[in-house]
């Protein structure tokens, strides 16, 4: 069933890897890759400024799902967004038909680009995902924490271009590199999703591949919707990022450095590989302008183990805090809300209130703001009621943070609910994150991108 490819042993792999590293220089890498791409490129259309795709929130799993067009003939493919994922992978075992599918041959530049030095055959009839003499990678499912081997491949991918205000003509990438996966790996994904769009800091994740192909800055912006049924938006490339009524959310962003965790946080990794997830340097947390006290050591990334620190995740539904941080924050919130009538806990949340006890403001229920303080006291990510309180059941609002336990790998995982209706720009060239805080203050939302095509 699963691993139709047979891979070299890990010893052979690491030998090959060190040899590869010794003689492959970066410029050569790109030169080869560029040739491969351009040889199959169709007549170049005008270069897009940026690309765009919608993001839906799945009401059952709370996952965020985007759509790309892939293959020949082209079909829409729904993919769960994984900000920390290594590359794009799709189920090639079920209903994958395409005239333009090509597996990556062993030792080709495509394999090197994806960091794969494995090589294998497939003992079954040939099909996408099962070919001889191909290199493989390890696609993983962040929800089930399952990884398996999958054939590396290229196929046509297309996305609408954008001027930042509307989608426009579809642009086509003839040889987009991705990983195939067996059908079982899609277990746990939102209904209709047949893969994962990994947006991590690798050369093969869509943000870098698309930027290299279309020569735009290596940045992308994520704006998650808060309600199923209203699409949010994902931009590849630089702003403007405009929302109705004509608000450019790329203006007025605050910036904080993206930090490198030197130790991989992935399900599978090779020794010495850094994490390709997005870490930021939270230095303190304030509730209603008052600093919350806990061991600040938890906020540092341990260079040896990769533990600690703060990362941003679209696969965690709610922000997860290490137990002592969680207790400190919930303690501070409950003190600040002492006058509001408590309600019984609704799992996985502990601190819940009668919804009727809150005033309603433009930025959600009237509660003290929670600030993630970053590189200085002046730079903080302010979380208002719309992102800090969730209606866990009818008439009950709960603090939308969860307890990650005593020893989570990462002390703070900022999850999807806290990201909704915030625009986040990941700038890989400058290694920084631009964040807007809630767009509700600016009288718009992530669901106000005008998806009517201007083409
Ligand atoms: C791979 O090669 C083996 C041995 O020649 C053959 O039996 C098998 O069918 C081939 N698989 C594919 C997918 O072509
Ligand atoms: C959305 O974009 C279309 C195409 O440019 C335009 O005709 C329409 O007026 C826009 N909608 C709004 C509400 O501005």
Compute mean pLDDT per 10 residues along the chain, 455 residues long, and list them.
30 31 31 35 65 98 98 98 97 97 97 92 95 96 96 98 97 97 98 98 96 95 97 97 97 96 90 94 98 98 97 98 98 98 98 97 97 98 98 97 98 98 98 97 97 93
Domain boundaries, the chain: 13-244, 250-448
Residue 283's contacts (CB-CB under 8 Å, 6 or more residues apart) are 296, 299, 373, 374, 375
Which residue is closest in CA terms to ligand 2's atom 3? 452
- Which ligand ends up closest to the CA of 165? 2
Q: Is the peptide bond before 240 cis (omega within 30 degrees of 0)?
A: yes
Whether the model pTM is above 0.85: yes
- Which ligand ends up closest to the CA of 6? 1
In the reported structure, the alpha carbon of residue 348 is separated from the centroid of ligand 1 by a whole-number distance in angstroms of: 50
The alpha helices in 149-256, defined as continuous H runs, are 206-214
- Which ligand ends up closest to the CA of 151? 1
**Dist. CA 133–CA 131, nearest whole Å:** 7
- Which ligand ends up closest to the CA of 127? 1
Given this chain, do its domains 13-244 and 250-448 carry the same CATH topology? yes
Question: Three-state DSSP class for 196?
Answer: strand
Which residue is closest in CA terms to ligand 2's atom 8? 452
Structure tokens at 371: 């600030």
In the reported structure, the alpha carbon of residue 165 is separated from the centroid of ligand 2 by a whole-number distance in angstroms of: 9
Residue 160: C-alpha distances to residues 45, 197, 429 (Å): 12, 16, 23
Which residue is closest in CA terms to ligand 1's atom 4? 123
State the pLDDT at residue 252. 87
Superfamily name and number for 13-244? Acid Proteases (2.40.70.10)
Query: Which ligand 1 atom is at minimum distance from the Cα of 131?
Result: 13
Query: Which ligand 1 atom is at minimum distance from the Cα of 125?
Result: 13
Buried/exposed code over 315-345 (b: 16+ C-beta within 10 A; e: otherwise): bbbbbbbbbebbebbbebbbeebeebeebee
Query: Which ligand 1 atom is at minimum distance from the Cα of 4?
Result: 13
Any atom of ligand 2 within 6 Å of the Cβ of 46: no
Please say whether the beta carbons of 85 and 195 come within 8 A.
no
State the pLDDT at residue 280. 98
In the reported structure, the alpha carbon of residue 86 is separated from the centroid of ligand 1 by a whole-number distance in angstroms of: 29
- CATH topology for 250-448 is Cathepsin D, subunit A; domain 1 (2.40.70)
Which residue is closest in CA terms to ligand 1's atom 2? 132
- Which ligand ends up closest to the CA of 130? 1
Any atom of ligand 2 within 6 Å of the Cβ of 21: no
Any atom of ligand 2 within 6 Å of the Cβ of 168: no
Which residue is closest in CA terms to ligand 1's atom 1? 132
State the pLDDT at residue 3. 32
Which residue is closest in CA terms to ligand 2's atom 11? 450
Residue 65's contacts (CB-CB under 8 Å, 6 or more residues apart) are 55, 56, 57, 58, 78, 79, 80, 81, 190, 192, 193
In the reported structure, the alpha carbon of residue 129 is separated from the centroid of ligand 1 by a whole-number distance in angstroms of: 13
Query: Which ligand 2 atom is at minimum distance from the Cα of 245?
Result: 14
């Amino acid at each position: 069933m699963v691993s139709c490819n047979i891979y070299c042993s890990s010893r052979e792999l690491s030998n090959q890897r060190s040899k590869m590293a010794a003689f492959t220089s970066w410029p050569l890498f790109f030169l080869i890759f560029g040739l491969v791409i351009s040889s199959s490129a169709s007549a170049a259309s005008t270069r897009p400024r940026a690309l765009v795709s919608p993001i839906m929130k799945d009401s059952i799993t709370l996952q965020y799902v985007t759509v790309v067009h892939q293959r020949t003939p082209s079909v829409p493919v729904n993919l769960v967004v994984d900000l920390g994922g290594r590359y794009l992978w799709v189920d090639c075992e079920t209903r994958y038909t395409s005239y333009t599918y090509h597996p990556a041959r062993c030792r080709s530049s495509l394999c090197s680009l994806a960091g794969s030095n494995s090589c294998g055959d497939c003992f079954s009839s040939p099909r996408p995902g099962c070919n001889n003499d191909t290199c493989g990678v390890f696609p993983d499912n962040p929800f089930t924490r399952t990884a398996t081997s999958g054939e590396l491949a290229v196929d046509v991918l297309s996305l609408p271009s954008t001027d930042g205000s509307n989608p426009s003509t579809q642009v086509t990438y003839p040889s987009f590199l991705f990983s195939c996966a067996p059908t079982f790996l899609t277990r746990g994904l939102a209904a209709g999703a047949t893969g994962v769009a990994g947006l991590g800091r690798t050369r093969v994740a869509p943000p870098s591949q698309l930027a290299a192909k279309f020569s735009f800055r290596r940045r992308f912006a994520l704006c998650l919707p808060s309600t199923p049924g209203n699409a949010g938006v994902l931009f590849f490339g630089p702003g403007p990022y405009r929302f109705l009524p004509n608000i450019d959310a790329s203006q007025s962003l605050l910036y904080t450095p993206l930090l490198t965790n030197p130790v991989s946080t992935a399900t599978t990794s090779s020794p010495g590989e850094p994490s390709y997830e997005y870490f930021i340097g939270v230095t303190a947390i304030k509730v209603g302008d008052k600093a919350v006290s806990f061991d600040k050591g938890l906020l540092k990334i341990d260079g040896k183990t990769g533990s600690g620190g703060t990362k941003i995740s679209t696969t965690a539904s709610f922000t997860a805090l290490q137990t002592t941080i969680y207790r400190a924050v919930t303690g501070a919130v409950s003190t600040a809300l002492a006058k509001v009538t408590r309600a019984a806990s609704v799992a996985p949340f502990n601190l819940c209130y009668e919804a009727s006890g809150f005033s309603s403001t433009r930025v959600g229920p009237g509660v003290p703001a929670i600030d993630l303080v970053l590189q200085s006291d002046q730079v903080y990510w302010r979380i208002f009621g719309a992102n800090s309180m969730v209606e866990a059941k009818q008439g009950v609002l709960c603090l939308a943070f969860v307890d990650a336990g005593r020893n989570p790998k990462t002390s703070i995982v900022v999850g999807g609910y806290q990201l909704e209706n915030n625009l986040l720009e990941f700038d890989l060239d400058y290694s920084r994150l631009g964040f807007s805080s809630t767009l509700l203050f600016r009288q718009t939302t992530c669901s106000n991108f005008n998806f009517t095509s201007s083409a």
